[in-house]
Structure 1
Amino acid sequence: MVESNPTVPLRSIQDHVQKMLQVGVSIHKVHREKATTTKQVTGDYTKQYEVLRDYLMELQPTNVGTSVKLEVVNEPNSAIETWQFKRVYISLGELKKGFKAGLRDILGLDDDFIKDPFPGQVLTTVVLASNNGIYPLAYAIVETENMSSWKCKFDKDAFEWLKKTPFNIGPEVIFRQSRIKYIAQLFVQFFNNKLSHGRNKPIISCLEYIRQYLMKRFCNVKKVVSKAPGPLTPTTSKLLERNREALVQNRARWNGTAKYEFYGPWYDHHVVDMTNTSCTCRRWELKGIPCRHAIATIHEMADIRDNVGELYTYVNKVYWLQTWNEAYSYTVDPIKRRTMLPKSTYPFQLTQPPHHIQSGDQRSREREV
């Protein structure tokens, strides 16, 4: 019962025992037995830190190209037999290959609290996929969210360049060619919500929960891709059709080159440049999907000359079904059970991390007030 539902309430267990065995037990005894069973199922919180290196050693060869970084509290010293865990970073090799195939190079970063005896935070790195869904890239368990825990993910030159940009300019303006219409929205929090049930588990069980979720997600997306008609992703097809349906009382005029002047109701007046695939409304340039002004222009082009091409060819390749399929063509490989993990040859023993007060914790803010 606890194995299938680790969050089952104590009262439910108490009622189940009384109903099935006709035995009355106290709530304190139920609490002790549930704690013992949970420890047997998920592993002891302290013990899992001792075998964390074994788990990481198994993860790298089974998922080729995986990047793993394990840090301890103090500088490595061979004279010290026990080192305290500080943070661990994992980026599976197949995810990195899929990220490169997805043609998007803008990442979203977020964190969430760990609910176990050793407080910490789960950091996640996510990119927006071709169907405007999430594509996980990397994850880490750290002591708290600060500059030190994020520094391994930052590029110094990019940071210096970004500091020169005015803060009142949004990401759509800064990263025009990245097609990130939804990058400012909460798609990263959506991924963290999917991992919420793993945040109360011991560290290896938590990492395994994330890896198994990624393995399952890739399989589910592959099923959707196999059923999609194409040539665009389902979400992109709907957006493009919506723009096409908005072409009532719209027309475009050719100037003899690659530029067209668009006329529409309510003083909707724009210039479309087919050479640069841009419109003065900037939606086509920012989203990578032709706006209704561009679609009207393409229809006008078809009346003037032949070989204009299908409408989907004017959509950025980020949104093509083929690109989505290539990003999810890779797989997250399974690993052996915990008792069969290779043994680390390092002479030191890894122990649980020291206690850290979590930044942003509601309870700490209440104490400060």
Structure 2
Amino acid sequence: MSTIAKEIESTMELNPGIPIKVLQDLIQKKYQVHISLKKIFRAKVLATKKVQSDFTTQYLLLRDYCAELLRSNRDTTVTIEVEREFNPTTESRQFKRIYICYGCLKVGFKQRGGEVLGLDGCFMKGPFPRQILTAVGVYGNNGIYPVAFAIVEAESSSSWTWFLQCLGNDLDLNIRSNFTFLSDRKKGIIPAIKKVYPSIEHRYCPRHIHENMKIKWRSNMFKNMLWKAGGQSVMDYSTMYDMAANGIEGGIPESWVDEVYWLSTWKKVNENTIDPINGKEMWTPSACPTSLLPPEHHTQIGRPKKARKKSVEELSQKINTGGKMTRKGKAVTCQVCKQKGHNKRGCKERGPSTSTQPTSQQQ
């Protein structure tokens, strides 16, 4: 029984709610042996206890990990928030949220000089599902530059407000800062930005705008118009060629773009690196007098989906299924009338079918 439990541990970590029948099929196909549902059920119980115990242990070590992180990476910010405890004599606290901003990323983002931050959230699966909130900048070559992240109970106005306040403390933002946030149109994030930074400009991601727009306007023409509008530029490089053609000195190319896009700025930003930490055997125990317990398991908002929701672009792509290309989106052509929209079985011009088999005569 313990052998089967060890075999399904990794699967249970990724998908704790996986059905027993699915586990049975996975084991039987892998080892070509028959295993009863009863054995799979008992193995799943053992694996669940092992996985949850491992996660609980990780939460107990979280304070020690944060202390080691602060030791190895100076100027790093780590903020842990626990659930409210009405009994102050209790020796344990229940985890609620954690915010982390590496010192090197904080410094690098300030050296870059950009004033645009992208905000987003995603699900974190496991026995104690949470939400991950992130704040990222953009490199001079349009690459993603991570700034800070947090693990919170849910993507709500309260959690986003807390995350933005922590982020503002690290990036020296205030209520009147000249800054731009880019995000989707989730209900929780919009009121949080208005509350914490009412003077900051808030723009929406074109991809998410298109996801909402395509409900009524599905044509690629509207999509191309949207992306064209979102990609309009302050300056056209053809001006430099025109100046050169007319004998006007245009200067070096760097003088025409912001310092954010200079190669020297890119090198300066990448000089900041995240330093590795020691193994947990070498961690210094945290001085906090209380131990940290994992959060209560709660079901995430919304109906659980069996499969990830795909965008229109993904659905329009050709998918390889077993060596054959899908016929989805292709018009069927009738072999009889050569018209599209039906095959020969449903063709009205096809005459009555005649059987090629000889009929038996009754003696």
Scaled by the length of structure 2, the TM-score of the pair is 0.56
In the other structure, the counterpart of 1:295 is 240
Q: 2:71 aligns with which of 55, 61, 64?
A: 61
Corresponding residue of 1:362: 303
Q: Residue by residue, what CA displacement relative to the aligned partner does 1:160-205 show, whole Å, maximum 9, x if unpaired?
A: 797579xxx984xxxxxxxxxxx73459xxxxxxxxxxxxxxxxxx
Q: Name which of 80, 88, 99 aligns with 1:89.
A: 99
Letter in 2 for 1:321: L
Q: Does 1:315 align with 2:262?
A: no
Post-superposition Cα deviations, 1:26-65, rounded to whole Å, max 9, x if no partner, equal 4664576578679868962222222211111111111111
One of 129, 137, 147 as aligned partner of 2:147: 137
Q: Distance in 2 between matches of 1:330 and 1:35?
A: 46
**Code of the aligned partner of 1:66:** T
Q: Against the structure 1 CA distance between its residues 320 and 12, is the aligned structure 2 distance closer, same or farther, given a 3 Å change threshold?
A: farther
Show the 5 A alignment for 1:1-369: 10=23, 11-18=25-32, 24-26=34-36, 29=39, 44-74=54-84, 78-152=88-162, 153-154=164-165, 155-158=174-177, 159=194, 163=198, 171=203, 184-185=205-206, 283-285=232-234, 290-300=235-245, 303-306=246-249, 308-356=250-298, 358-359=300-301, 361-363=302-304
Q: Distance in 2 between matches of 1:43 and 1:161?
A: 38
Amino acid at match of 1:299: A
- CA deviation map 1:325-352 (0-9, x unaligned): 2222222222223344322232212112
| In structure 2, distance between residues paired with 1:94 and 1:73 | 30
Are the aligned partners of 1:14 and 1:27 in contact in 2 as well (CA < 8 Å)? no
After TM superposition, give the deviation of residue 100 of structure 1 in Å.
1.5
Q: Which runs of 4+ in 1 moved over 6 A?
A: 1-6, 37-43
3-state secondary structure, aligned to 1:71: strand
Q: Distance in 2 between matches of 1:27 and 1:125?
A: 45
The CA deviation string for residues 226-281 of structure 1, in whole angstroms up to 9 with x for no partner, is xxxxxxxxxxxxxxxxxxxxxxxxxxxxxxxxxxxxxxxxxxxxxxxxxxxxxxxx
Q: Work out the CA distance in 1 between the residues paired with 2:289 and 2:58.
A: 17
SS of 1:362's equivalent?
coil
Amino acid at match of 1:16: K
Tell me, yes or no, if the aligned pair for 1:14 and 1:30 is still in contact at 8 Å.
no
* One-letter identity of the residue aligned with 2:288: Y
Q: How much identity, in percent, do the aligned residues show? A: 38
**Aligned equivalents of 1:340, 1:41: Cα separation in 2:** 24
Structure 1, 340-349 or 53-62: larger mean CA deviation: 340-349
Shift of 1:322: 2.5
Instruction: Structure 1: give runs of 5+ residues left out of the alignment.
Output: 172-182, 188-281, 365-369
Label 1:12 to 1:351 Cα distance change in 2 as closer, same or farther (>3 A). same
Considering fraction of residues, name the structure with more helix.
1
8 Å CA contact 1:63–1:92 kept in 2: the answer is yes
Q: Is the 8 A contact 2:14 2:126 kept in 1?
A: no
Shift of 1:72: 0.6
- CA RMSD after TM alignment: 3.7
Q: How many Å apart are 1:82 and its aligned residue?
A: 1.7
Deviation of residue 93 (structure 1)? 1.0
In 2 relative to 1, CA 156–163 (structure 1 residues): closer, same or farther, beyond 3 Å?
closer
Q: Report the Cα distance in structure 2 between the residues aligned to 1:298 and 1:42, rounded to whole angstroms.
A: 68
Q: Which has the higher contact order (CA 8 A, sep 6+)?
A: 1
Deviations 1:107-156 (A, max 9, x none): 11111122122232111111122111211111111111223212231444
**Kept after mapping to 2: 8 A contact 1:13/1:30:** no
SS at match of 1:344: coil
Radius of gyration: which is bigger? 2
Question: SS where residue 74 of structure 2 aligns?
Answer: coil
Q: Which amino acid aligns with 1:298?
A: M
Secondary structure at the counterpart of residue 85 of structure 1: strand
Task: Give the SS at the match of 2:99.
Answer: strand
Structure 2: runs of 5+ lacking an equivalent:
1-6, 16-21, 166-173, 178-193, 209-230, 306-363
Structure 1 residues 126 and 76: CA distance shift in structure 2, 3 A: farther
Sort the Cα spacing of 1:99 and 1:39 in 2 relative to 1 into closer, same or farther, 3 A.
farther
